[in-house]
Amino acid sequence: MNYRALGKTGLMVSEIGFGGEWLERHDEAHSVELLVYAHEKGINVVDCWMADPKSRDIIGKAMEGCRDSWYVQGHIGSTYQNGQYVRTRDMKFVRPAFEDLLIRLRTDYIDLGMIHYVDTVEDWNKIMDGEFIAYVRELREKGAIRHIGLSTHNPVIGQMAVESGFIEMIMFSINPAFDMRPATEDIDDLFVGYDKAAFSGIDPERARLYRMCEEKGVGITVMKGYFGGALLDKERSPFGVAFTPAQLIHYALTRPGVSSILCGYDTKEQIDVAVAYESASDDEKDYASVIANAPLHSYRGQCTYCGHCKPCPVDIDIAMVNKFYDLATAQCDGAKGSETQCYKAKPRVPESVQQHYKALKHTAAECIGCRSCESRCPFGVAIAERMKKAAQLLG
Ligand code: SF4
Ligand code: SF4
């Protein structure tokens, strides 16, 4: 298992994590066994957004005797009322629900205290202005949570969280289908009435969020990486083709800022399949060919950092150059900065991006314009032209 730094939290989380949502649908002994098995395979981060007592008890039992070797995402604002999960900001429910989480998890701290499921600006403002955020800070000061996180499906809220300066990581929904859809305040509307012909590559707000996270050191853990299984099924996939788990895991883990993908598991075999990503070949992880050959897609012209264009005769790491170029141009002209405007306007390149770029063995300036890479790019990126722009901007 590979481990990645979760932004600036100082935590090293496993690339493959455990989303706890499905624990409740099995008997307790089976679910405890799944978590123990996952831990033996090197998985060390688990999300517990669930408010129901059963899921929490299961995680508590599985962590008994090894609490310190797990990192837990525990949610604040996820409550259980009259036998039902309820997301709320009402403190008379929020406080006892969090106290219940500590008791059932048999712990006195949560590594990542997640402000639960914020998808609207109105909700964000309500949280930030009121006693909810005061409570989150109080938990942090007391050491009941060690880091402050936030879960959202809306890239605009994700950006607000990053800009707040005190939210250290986010849990965000990432998969190739979500990435094509514009931001919405209701995740259930994401694919309602969508026009397949209108798919227009990666939504700029999402791309901007990932770049901001990487640049500012706000870690991302990924939820909904398989789109609830829809992307594993040709009939349900918005692309009209099925992906494999390794391809979807690779897609999520190659977005800037991402540290871990939290998958749900019903069986040990499913854990094995996810963990097998770590030893998969480049061909097995190759999501790019699937997207590029899908009947329904329009990622044309956009670099997905897939690395398909290798090798370059002068050994330029084209995907990395493109990533740094995108990171640099994302700083231009506020939220809506376009690549063209940036190129013309010569934006200020963030120091961190400049340093990383300089550390590359070979930079864009060495491009000889042979364009041999372009025939290998499944997305038709004008690479030689991009190298010129990158060299001009980054040196
Ligand atoms: S330029 Fe094309 S092939 Fe190369 S990393 Fe980007 S999308 Fe992949
Ligand atoms: S065009 Fe530039 S980046 Fe592409 S293979 Fe040739 S030298 Fe490398």
Per-residue model confidence (pLDDT) at position 324:
85
* Whole-number Å distance between alpha carbons of 300 and 206: 17
Q: Please name which ligand lies nearest the alpha carbon of 390.
A: 2
List, in order, residues 6 or more apart from 125 with CB less than 8 Å away.
Answer: none
Residues 77/87, Cβ–Cβ less than 8 Å: yes
- From the CA of 232, how far away is ligand 2's center (Å)? 34
Strand bridging mode 3-5 / 110-115: unpaired
* Whole-number Å distance between alpha carbons of 392 and 144: 49
Reported as a single tens digit per residue, the pLDDT across 197-215 is: 444 567 788 888 999 999 9
For residue 114, give both structure tokens: 């997640």
Residues 383/318, Cβ–Cβ less than 8 Å: yes
CATH topology (fold) of 3-292: TIM Barrel (3.20.20)
Burial class, 355, CB count within 10 angstroms (exposed 0-12 / middle 13-18 / buried 19+): exposed
- What is the dihedral sign for C-alpha 270, 169, 156, 152? positive
pLDDT profile of the chain (395 residues), mean per 10: 96 97 91 97 97 96 96 96 90 97 97 95 92 96 97 94 96 88 60 50 84 94 89 80 93 94 95 97 88 66 82 94 80 40 53 84 95 88 94 91
Cβ atoms within 10 Å, residue 262: 25
- Secondary structure (DSSP) of 52-69: SHHHHHHHHHHHTT-GGG
Ligand 2 near 212 CB (within 6 A): no
Nearest to 264 by CA among 66, 43, 7, 95: 43
**Number of alpha helices (DSSP H) and beta strands (DSSP E) in the chain:** 15, 12
For residue 117, give both structure tokens: 């499921």
3-state secondary structure of 132: helix
- From the CA of 152, how far away is ligand 2's center (Å)? 39
For atom 2 of ligand 1, which residue has the closest CA? 377
List, in order, residues 6 or more apart from 218 with CB less than 8 Å away.
Answer: 7, 8, 161, 162, 167, 168, 169, 170, 212, 257
- Start-to-end Cα distance in the chain: 36
Element (H, E) at 147: strand 145-152
Q: Please name which ligand lies nearest the alpha carbon of 363.
A: 2
Q: How many residues does the chain have?
A: 395
Q: Which residues line ligand 1 (CB under 6 A)?
A: 288, 303-309, 318-319, 322, 377, 379, 381, 383
Q: At what angle do helices 53-63 and 28-40 cross, to 10 degrees?
A: 40
Per-residue model confidence (pLDDT) at position 169:
98
* Whole-number Å distance between alpha carbons of 35 and 43: 9
Cβ atoms within 10 Å, residue 306: 23
List, in order, residues 6 or more apart from 340 with CB less than 8 Å away.
Answer: none
Per-residue model confidence (pLDDT) at position 343:
41
Cβ atoms within 10 Å, residue 182: 14
Mutating to test ligand 1, I would choose from 250, 306, 383 the residue with most ligand atoms within 8 A of its C-beta, which is 306
Per-residue model confidence (pLDDT) at position 222:
96
pTM: 0.73
**Per-domain boundaries in the chain:** 3-292, 318-394
Per-residue model confidence (pLDDT) at position 73:
98
Ligand 2 near 381 CB (within 6 A): no
Per-residue model confidence (pLDDT) at position 203:
79
List, in order, residues 6 or more apart from 157 with CB less than 8 Å away.
Answer: 118, 119, 120, 121, 124, 150
Per-residue model confidence (pLDDT) at position 339:
41
For atom 7 of ligand 1, which residue has the closest CA? 303
Per-residue model confidence (pLDDT) at position 202:
77
List, in order, residues 6 or more apart from 382 with CB less than 8 Å away.
Answer: 301, 374
Query: What's the alpha-carbon Rg for the chain, to the nearest Å?
Result: 21
List, in order, residues 6 or more apart from 15 with CB less than 8 Å away.
Answer: 1, 2, 3, 4, 249, 253, 259, 260, 261, 277, 278
Residues 23/267, Cβ–Cβ less than 8 Å: no
Burial 29-43 (b: 16+ CB within 10 A, else e): eebbebbebbbebeb
3-state secondary structure of 180: helix
Per-residue model confidence (pLDDT) at position 105:
97
- From the CA of 359, how far away is ligand 1's center (Å)? 20
- From the CA of 369, how far away is ligand 2's center (Å)? 5
Ligand 2 near 349 CB (within 6 A): no
For atom 8 of ligand 1, which residue has the closest CA? 306
